[in-house]
Chains A and B, each alone.
Chain A
Amino acid sequence: MTGVVITGVGAICALGDKPPDIHRALCEARAGFGAGTVFSEQAGSYRAAEVRAFAPRDYLGPRNLRPLDRTGQLAAVAAELALADGGWTPGQREGREIGLVLGTTFCSARTIGEFDRRAMREGPEYASPLDFANTVINAAAGQVAIWHRLRGVNSTISTGGASGLHAVGYAAQLIRAGRETALIAGGAEELCFESYLGFLRAGVLCDPAEGGPAEGPRPFDVRRNGCVLGEGAGFLVLEAEEAAAARGARVIGRIAGFGAAYDSRQAMERADGANALTYAIERALATSATTEIGAVMASASGSPVLDAREATAIREALGARRRRVPVTTIKGHLGEAQGASGALQTIMMLASLQSRRLPPIGGLQQPDAHFDLDFVTGAPRPLEAACGLVTSLAREGNCCALVVAGPTG
């Protein structure tokens, strides 16, 4: 079966736009949280890991950006960074059919909501045709394809908070099946009023009240009480091993294994009981040529139930090996960036394997003793391993796990 190699990465989030810099910030325990600005006129003060002073032209040049909403712009920027990192010149992009798999929860709930509200307020004849094109949930994938001339498979994956990781896993499957030889895969999500209000009213955020003081998330901590929202985009360039070699591409890692599963919405209301993520991890390890993983990059964001379920799955799947495998998460510093999270986690796991340092978990002071895992707290942890496990769990029950190998794996 064709090997799937990683030949480029691109990311934009509250901690920067260069994976080594983002990784360094995480290792230095710098959080991306602050007073949000993108919808403060609409909703007043809020706290988030926002991409501040986002300047898409700095990356994308003078072409007309009006057709792209914030999600589309974040995705187009991360795709540009990934393609450039992978050595794809504009000419090479024209010459090959490159595919795209984009994970997202909402695409842009802001575009959809504003389109509808304008039509309801002013009358349907005042609806914007340009915005209508962006009300579909694959709008960002379509816009990125147009921007970068990606004419191969163009798919959008929605599994909530697991979307970004699931997109990477699906892209690897497309390459293994011989459907494509080059794909960019990852996810994107914008911060917006609509999704923020949704998370707030669902009681998912750790802010004690609207506009009130906030302490920040505490993933895996006994006192964890919710997440802070983030945003951003991340993509990996995945290629069939032979195709990458043929174009002389630099290989920075590989996708070694993937598994996905699901727990019912009823099961997701409880911290204990059946756990599909255990199966997804076992499947990812079973499909991987190597099972010697040196670390876990979890998706825990500070949720009382989800963090517990994820810890249980990691503990069950790794068994006695968990003593030798430290666990970390980026969401204590970067928040819950929904569809972007899984891609950012994968890129940060890759950066950890490259730099041989695993960043600590932001906000974790007193690990929940029930979890019985080796969490990285306080300072970065030396990492001498070729492979890592990335896990993702959505509140609706979707989950997946990915084994990623670094340059020596």
Chain B
Amino acid sequence: MDSRTRVVVTGLGTVTSIGIGREAFWRHLLEGRSGIGPVESFDTSRYQVHLGGEVKAFRAEGFVRRLDPASMGRASQLAIAAARLAVADAGIGLDAIDPVRAGVSIGTTSGEPEWIERFDDMELGGQRDRIGAEFLNRYPCHVLAANVASELGFRGVNLVIPTACAAGNYALAHALDTIRSGEADVMLAGGSDAFSRITYTGFARLGAIAPERCQPFDRRRRGMIPGEGAAVLVLEPLTRALERGARVYAELAGYGLSCDATHMTAPQGDGAVRAMQTAMRDAGLTPDRIDYVSAHGTGTTANDRVETIAVKQAFGAAAAGVPISSIKSMLGHTMGAASAIEAAACALAVWDDHIPPTINLEEADPECDLDYVPGVARAVPVESAMNNAYAFGGNNASVIFRKCRTPAP
């Protein structure tokens, strides 16, 4: 293996508010279905806002089989479900993998927040004595990858990359280099976050949560809507995928990571431009050869305006012609899972030659004047797709997928 090793996506597992499993997810994404509804995970009566993107249909018991579902938090359960779906989708027999050559790289924002929320409830309720071993055993975020690997029997490199709302892309970037370095034959890379009271409280306090709808790039947009979910992508070298006759969704062609190093929460744009430029250089693609951009597109006034400026700077003259959409309009912002779910959407866009829409985008914003694929999905050839994600901490990550053209055997 070396730095030129081609790495491809051969399996997709998605657990989202609009569908569990690749087919339902993709069908509903192209239909423009919304997964937003009243929050049920906790009582929002003291909040000014009440909507969220929860995966209400999720039942852990169908996926968490070797481990006890009750022994872990919801983000681990979601991650395990996405991992099992991805491995099944890839058609990889677990006994056909050398366990120490199979790794797991998972991104997250909050890890397993329910366990620190329970800690806090007991502490506030004068019940400190009831705080037990479960806090240490279930709360620290690295348990997400640990639980996935323990469930599947993977013994290769295993880590969580908690780079907040760009974490899924960071996990993909790590996995790409890990395969190229020769450290692993197969990597499960993705992201997972469970609906979190702490996250909801913070965004509500910032006034960043939309009261009715998430409307990325719309002139009347009023914010993001917190969500939850997970996605895992199966990555392996192209040669290995061809040998086993695997279905190849897309090639993971390159990435760019950067840091604004200016402000913890306010996007600056220059770091986003550098991440996009680095990713295009890494993939060997010029802006005019990018056929789709999956936007970070949270629906906040600042993000969508700054992201639009950044795309214009990074793409130059090609910016006006490239379709850009935000599936957060349908799913809300699933935090550390978001860029993993969006990466799955990019891989599917490249594979299926369809672009999912930005729903709820009705009134153009003069400051957001690019092609955001409003309302309706689009059937167009998609040779390559860029997935953008930006996070607290000033972390920026762009990942590029392209159609896998292989030489005739």
Q: Which residues of A contact B (CB under 8 A)?
A: 67, 97, 99-100, 105-107, 109, 112-113, 115-117, 119-121, 123-125, 127-129, 132-139, 141-143, 145-146, 148-160, 163, 166, 170, 173-174, 176-179, 194-195, 197-199, 201-204, 259-266, 274, 276, 279, 283, 394, 396-398
Q: From the candidates B121, B163, B178, name the one contacting A156 in the complex (CB within 8 A).
A: B163
| Complex contact B394–A142 (CB within 8 A) | yes
**Which chain B residues border A159 with CB–CB below 8 Å?**
142, 158-160
- Supplied contacts A159-B160, A163-B142, A261-B157, 7 more A-B pairs, CB within 8 Å: A145-B259, A153-B257, A153-B259, A154-B393, A158-B140, A198-B119, A398-B145
Q: Report the separation of the CA atoms of residues A163 and B145 in the bound assembly, to the nearest whole angstrom.
A: 13
Q: Report the separation of the CA atoms of residues A148 and B170 in the bound assembly, to the nearest whole angstrom.
A: 22
Most buried by B among A107, A141, A274: A141
* Mask of B115-150 contacts with A, CB within 8 angstroms, 1/0: 011011101100010011101110111110111011
Q: Report the separation of the CA atoms of residues A139 and B391 in the bound assembly, to the nearest whole angstrom.
A: 10
**Which chain B residues border A262 with CB–CB below 8 Å?**
103-104, 146, 149, 154-158
Q: From the candidates B113, B142, B201, name the one contacting A396 in the complex (CB within 8 A).
A: B142
| Complex contact A265–B147 (CB within 8 A) | yes
B119 → A minimal CB distance (Å): 7
Of B14-22, B202-210, B214-222, B371-379, the one with at least 4 CB within 8 A of chain A: B202-210
**Which chain A residues border B120 with CB–CB below 8 Å?**
113, 116-117, 120
**Which chain B residues border A142 with CB–CB below 8 Å?**
259, 264, 392-395
Q: Which residues of B contact A (CB under 8 A)?
A: 3, 46-47, 67, 100, 103-104, 108-111, 113, 116-117, 119-121, 123-124, 128, 131-133, 135-137, 139-143, 145-147, 149-150, 153-164, 170, 174, 177-178, 180-181, 183, 197-199, 201-202, 204-206, 257-265, 271, 274, 391-395
**Which chain B residues border A145 with CB–CB below 8 Å?**
259-261, 393-394
**Which chain A residues border B119 with CB–CB below 8 Å?**
113, 194, 197-198
Q: Report the separation of the CA atoms of residues A97 and B261 in the bound assembly, to the nearest whole angstrom.
A: 11
Q: Report the separation of the CA atoms of residues A394 and B149 in the bound assembly, to the nearest whole angstrom.
A: 14
| CB nearest neighbor in A for B166 | A138
Q: From the candidates A105, A116, A136, A149, name the one contacting B142 in the complex (CB within 8 A).
A: A105
**Which chain B residues border A134 with CB–CB below 8 Å?**
264
Known: A136-B393, A394-B142. A127 touches B202 (CB 8 A): yes
**Which chain B residues border A259 with CB–CB below 8 Å?**
183
Most buried by B among A116, A133, A149, A202: A116
Q: Report the separation of the CA atoms of residues A52 and B226 in the bound assembly, to the nearest whole angstrom.
A: 40
**Which chain B residues border A149 with CB–CB below 8 Å?**
261
Q: From the candidates B180, B261, B264, name the one contacting A133 in the complex (CB within 8 A).
A: B264
| Complex contact B261–A129 (CB within 8 A) | no
A322 → B minimal CB distance (Å): 22
| Complex contact A154–B162 (CB within 8 A) | no
Total A-B pairs in contact (CB under 8 Å)?
251
**Which chain A residues border B163 with CB–CB below 8 Å?**
138, 141, 154-156
Known: A127-B201, A199-B136, A398-B159. A276 touches B100 (CB 8 A): yes
A398 → B minimal CB distance (Å): 6
| Complex contact A116–B137 (CB within 8 A) | no
Q: Report the separation of the CA atoms of residues A198 and B137 in the bound assembly, to the nearest whole angstrom.
A: 8
Most buried by A among B116, B141, B257, B259: B259
B290 → A minimal CB distance (Å): 21
| Complex contact A135–B202 (CB within 8 A) | yes
B170 → A minimal CB distance (Å): 6
| Complex contact A261–B146 (CB within 8 A) | no
Q: Report the separation of the CA atoms of residues A120 and B135 in the bound assembly, to the nearest whole angstrom.
A: 19
B265 → A minimal CB distance (Å): 5
| Complex contact B197–A116 (CB within 8 A) | yes
Q: From the candidates A67, A177, A202, A264, name the one contacting B133 in the complex (CB within 8 A).
A: A202
| Complex contact B111–A137 (CB within 8 A) | yes
Instruction: Please give me the 6 A-B residue pairs with the lowest Cβ-Cβ distance, nearest first.
Output: A142-B393, A137-B162, A132-B202, A154-B259, A262-B158, A198-B136
**Which chain B residues border A146 with CB–CB below 8 Å?**
261-264, 394
| Complex contact A129–B393 (CB within 8 A) | no
Known: A142-B395, A198-B135. A129 touches B206 (CB 8 A): yes
| Complex contact A133–B160 (CB within 8 A) | no
Known: A154-B258, A154-B259. A116 touches B116 (CB 8 A): yes
| Complex contact A177–B162 (CB within 8 A) | no
| Complex contact A154–B177 (CB within 8 A) | no
Q: Report the separation of the CA atoms of residues A179 and B137 in the bound assembly, to the nearest whole angstrom.
A: 35
| Complex contact A113–B116 (CB within 8 A) | yes
Q: Report the separation of the CA atoms of residues A37 and B150 in the bound assembly, to the nearest whole angstrom.
A: 38
Q: Report the separation of the CA atoms of residues A166 and B201 in the bound assembly, to the nearest whole angstrom.
A: 32
B304 → A minimal CB distance (Å): 20
Q: From the candidates A99, A115, A117, A138, name the one contacting B162 in the complex (CB within 8 A).
A: A138
